Each structure stands twice: as C-alpha cells, then as structure tokens.
Amino acid sequence: MHISVLTNEILEHFNLKPGENVIDATLDGGGHSKLFLRVVAPNGKVLGIEQDAGMIKSLKSEHLENLIVAQGNFRNIVEIARKHNFNPDAIFFDLGMSTWHIKESGRGFSFQRLDEPLDMRFSDEAEITAAEILNSYTDDKIAEIFKEYGEEKKARFWAKRIVEKRKLRKILTVGDLIGALGMNHPKVLARIFQSLRIFINDELNALSEGLSGAVEILNVGGRVAVLSYHSLEDRLVKNFFKGLEKEGKGSTSKKPIVPSIYEVRINPSARSAKLRIFIK
C-alpha cells in the first residue's frame, strides 16, 4: 500500500482554497489528488498527469468527481494544460517512486525482485531498457551513468565488473545484475538502480522542463510545490526556485520542509523527503 508523504505539511503550506484548480503533475495512485479535491470542492478541479498507461488503467476503477486524468509526461505540462483549457492556481510534483511501479509493474525497478526483467521504463517514450544498457554500453559509459545519476563512488569498479560478467552471460534480470555485481549491499544497489532509472527516463531533464512549464502556465499568486527524495532532484529544484526569485518572478522558502520524526517512524520511506514551494 502506498502511503502519501507530508500530507499535513503539503496542505498547510500549499494553502489551497475552495474553487481553485490544481495540477497534480505526478498522479500516481491518486493519493494527493484526493486530498486536493476535498479542499477545492465543490467547484475546484484537479488535472492529474500520469505517463504510465498501466497506472492509469488501475485508476479507472475509481471514479473521482472533478478529477481530469491526462496521460503524458509532465515535461509537456504546458501542452497538456492548454489541451484541457486548464488554468492552474497550484501545481504539485511528487518525484518519489510509486509503490505500483515497484510491486506491480514487473519492470525491474526494485533490487528485491530477482526474477523481473531489467526494463525500468515508465512509458514507451523511453527508447532503451536497463538490460540493453548493461549489455551494450562501454564500461566508461556505464560508469558515467552510475556516477552522475547515482553518485556512486565506486562507479568505475562496478561498471568494469558488469562488462566482464556479461561476456559469460547476458544480464537480463534483476538477479542477473546482482549476480554480476557480486554483492547485495542495499545502499549501493539503491544508487545503481536509481542511476539506471533516471538515465533511462531522462528524469532530470524532464523535471527541468516540467518546472519551467509549470511556472509559465501558473496563475499569478499561484504555488508550485515539489516533493523530492534524493539530492540530485532537490538540488535542481532548489537552484531553479532561487533563480526565479533572483529574477523577481516570485518567492521561495530558504529551507525545505521535512517529515517529522513521528512520520518517519510509521513510514520509513519518508525519511529523505524534502518539500519546496515557490509562489509566483
């Protein structure tokens, strides 16, 4: 079961009002959208963007009044909003991995699901799978991915090991990758899996484009809230918001909002979450 993170803090600092229109740029299972709908009711609407057709299919069994669902990548938020004639007062990004992708997608996002194929694509827009990268890229390129997108200190060591092991047999499943690495240290595996996923789905570029588009279409006085879970994303969001502030386009808080000790106890996955908000 997916547990939405920082829900009280999001509602408090997002400052939604009845009748406002909200874009949930990362619809996922609809957890945050349901919160927003309750606050903006009865006349406010939520436009939920989700790039994974499988996720949208799982949502269709639950009808939510005043929720508009759009399939697409939030990097195209401007086009999606204009298509639906939607003028947002608030836009929300939750950059965390969904429980559905980890437990139900069958695409190898988790290093604990050994039999799953190494796919890691969120949608068909991604052109290459993790298996194709690991079996065809040079050790230099694989090391670059591990270092840049996973901040893995031993990136070159692991890349060379993968290239050596793939000479003996192709790396096609999660178990194959762990076997090729020859270790099962959770933190190292988390960084390697993160790096592959970010690279494959072009996540950082998509985030930059999504944030730029969000600010463009946001009504004056509107808010953009971003919930991130690792330093690469948070650094990008922090610098983007500070850049807008220097340009006189709005204001942002100096420090991110983080979960309470109590929330981390009941939901350990929330421990690295950081919430930043920009007001246009």
Angle between helices 186-200 and 174-181 (to 10 degrees): 120
- Asked if residue 166 has pLDDT above 50, the reply is yes
Rounded mean pLDDT, 147-158: 98
Rounded mean pLDDT, 129-137: 98
The rounded mean pLDDT for the chain is 93
Per-residue pLDDT tens digits for 173-212: 999 999 999 999 999 999 999 999 999 999 999 999 999 9
Per-residue pLDDT tens digits for 209-231: 999 999 999 999 999 999 999 99
Least confident of 30-34, 57-61, 259-263: 57-61
CA distances 129 to 19, 137, 198, Å, are 42, 12, 12
- Asked if residue 17 has pLDDT above 80, the reply is yes
Judge: domain 127-198, CATH 1.10.150.170.
yes
Angle between helices 7-14 and 31-40 (to 10 degrees): 40
Beta carbons of 275 and 214 less than 8 angstroms apart: no
Q: How much is the pTM?
A: 0.93
**What are the residue ranges spanned by the domains of the chain?**
7-100+203-279, 127-198
- Residue 60: predicted pLDDT: 63
According to CATH, what is the number of the domain 7-100+203-279? 3.40.50.150
- Residue 99: predicted pLDDT: 77
Beta bridge partners of 116: none
Rounded mean pLDDT, 102-109: 89
pLDDT band at residue 54 using 50, 70 and 90 as cut-offs: confident
